[in-house]
Structure 1
Amino acid sequence: MSNIRLLIDLTLKDFKKKYVGSYLGILWAFVTPIITIGVFWFVFEVGFKSAPVDNFPFILWLSCGMIPWFFITDVLNNGTNSVIENDYLVKKVVFKVELLPLVKVISGLVIHLAFIIFVIGIFLSYGYSLDLYSLQIIYYCLAVCVLVTGIIFISSALIIFLKDIGQIISVILQFGFWLTPIFWSLEQIPEKYNFYLKLNPFYYIINGYREALIYKTWFWEHPYLTIYFWTITIIMLIIGGTIFKRLRPHFADSL
């Protein structure tokens, strides 16, 4: 219970550090993503006159891909620096440093849940109602949280000794954005490349959000893809936990 209470306190402090003192406060967490979605919508639907995707308005289809990607990029960017920016806590012998990356996951998740409500509101405004399939959003939220936790355990530990990790994460996210079907559909790609694109674990998440809200497909209808995703995710979590634990004793000396 003490760890949970500490985790909550650290998350609240993280929010205050980010947003207290600015005029819009926590609203800044929503401004950039909403503007980004708006720009993509204007360029592709208004400018290029993009047709509805699978008979769904482009803005709905796009939002289902962009919202989880915003969460992924936010957590990976902030989580990678979570230990460095709290070096004063790391140097305390009794402090559990492994909580710092988790704070970034929880902090990002709170914003993410608000965005999910925002997207659901857009769906309702277009006349689309929720059903049992929509509950899978909870499953995919859990899935993406576990995946990014494993990654930031690795990156937040390594960046202390290898400063280039921050730039490497940024490059991976840039390539990942274009290699993940966020505003393009897998059907637009030659079938011979589909297998390789599905090796990207973020594909499972982005596609999952759309299947929950648009295509009405259960995650267990893709057994091999689900098994592959969780295998990769658990491996990342184990590797991340191991690296973080082994490097932890050397954090204070290197900060």
Structure 2
Amino acid sequence: MRKEPYMKRIKDICSLTKSLAINDFKSKYAGSYFGLLWALLMPLVTIMVYWFVFEKGLKVSASADLNAPFVLWFVSGIIPWFYFSEALTTATHSFLEYNYLVKKVVFKIELLPLVKIFSAFLVHLFFIVILFSFFISYGYPISFFAVQIVYYTICNILLISSISWLTAAITPFFKDFSYVLSIILQFGMWLTPILWSVDVLSPHMIFLFKLNPFYYIVEGFRDSMINKIWFYEKYKLTLYFAFVVMVNFAISIKVFRKLKPHLSDVL
């Protein structure tokens, strides 16, 4: 008797999150003439600029280290980063943007960061299509290992979620935190092997860079599309990633619960 109301409650929460995410996605581009095109254009321009500079300008091409043409190796790493960066940034500002909902006692404000994460996910789906299009256009075979993209995307969502409840709760109290996050993300992109390979580093340095949880996702996308490696073959990294996400969730939930009663006072 108790199970049915609980499952109905979960279903209602999922339905509400889905509706808010779709509405957020539509409203974000409703006022612009080209709409969704802007969400795709800037990342695509970024990809083309890096591709031109590194492959055409610096003559970085296919090598034994990359196991594929540079542009395919690069796109496999930058596309999950685009999602991580966009989703985390928008989720961090979710309480500020939806302050009128935060002030409503009956609304579950825990859903707001998730709304932003799933709104950004709709754009990410387009980029997954673009990722496969790059491989097809280069004549690079797509194997069954590519189904792992689903797994690593879920890992990305979990990582973003585990951080966003913390950053979203802090931002209303320290509004300059958005600038801090922007700087962290800029450094984070260069400290993650998206534009370069960890193989150029010493074993000790490689170990340090693998402590970055996003390394697992970037390498996972490349393992799925290029290296043909199953995620369970890197079980140590998988366990480490799961541990980091669980610790992040524990810290985020604790801080969020402590700050939640005071959010309406600072918004």
TM-score w.r.t. structure 2 length? 0.92
Partner residue in 2 for 1:230: 242
Task: Specify every segment of 5 or more residues in structure 1 that has no aligned partner in the other structure, as ranges.
Answer: none
**Distance in structure 1 (CA, Å) of the matches to 2:67 and 2:266:** 55
Q: Mark the runs of 5 or more structure 2 residues left unpaired by the alignment.
A: 1-10
- Secondary structure at 1:49's aligned position in 2? coil
Show structure 1 runs of 4+ deviating over 4 A: none
- Structure 2 CA distance for aligned equivalents of residues 21 and 170 of structure 1: 25
Query: Corresponding residue for 1:22?
Result: 32
| Matched residue, 1:40 | 50
Q: Secondary structure at the match of 2:195?
A: coil
**Paired residue for 1:72, among 77, 81, 84?**
84
Alignment match, 1:11: 21
Deviation at 1:131, TM superposition (A): 2.1
- 1:98 aligned to which of 96, 110, 135: 110
- Residue 203 of structure 1 and its aligned partner are, at CA, apart by 0.6
SS at match of 2:25: helix
Normalising by structure 1, report the TM-score: 0.97
Give the superposition deviation at 1:55: 4.0
Task: State how far apart, in whole Å, the 1-side matches of 2:18 and 2:204 are.
Answer: 47
Q: Which residue of 2 aligns with 1:175?
A: 187
- TM-superposed CA distance for 1:49, in Å, is 1.3
Note if 1:240 corresponds to 2:252. yes
Deviation of residue 27 (structure 1)? 1.3
Match of 1:115 in 2: 127
Rounded Cα–Cα distance in structure 2 between residues aligned with 1:109 and 1:79: 12
Q: Is the 8 A contact 1:76 1:169 kept in 2?
A: no
> Which of 115, 121, 124 does residue 136 from structure 2 map onto?
124
Conservation of the 8 A alpha-carbon contact between 1:146 and 1:237: no
3-state secondary structure, aligned to 2:196: coil
CA distance in 1, matches of 2:179, 2:186: 11
CA distance in 2: counterparts of 1:250 and 1:55, whole angstroms? 52
Please give the per-residue CA displacement for 1:153-185, whole angstroms capped at 9, x wherever unaligned: 000001111223212211211111111000101
Identity %: 45
SS at match of 2:59: coil
Matches of 1:211 and 1:15, distance apart in 2: 31
Aligned to 1:200: 212
Task: Say how many residue pairs are matched.
Answer: 255
> Which region of structure 1 is more displaced relative to structure 2, 95-104 or 12-21?
12-21
User: 8 Å contact 2:25–2:120 — kept in the other structure?
Assistant: no
Say yes or no: does 1:31 pair with 2:38. no
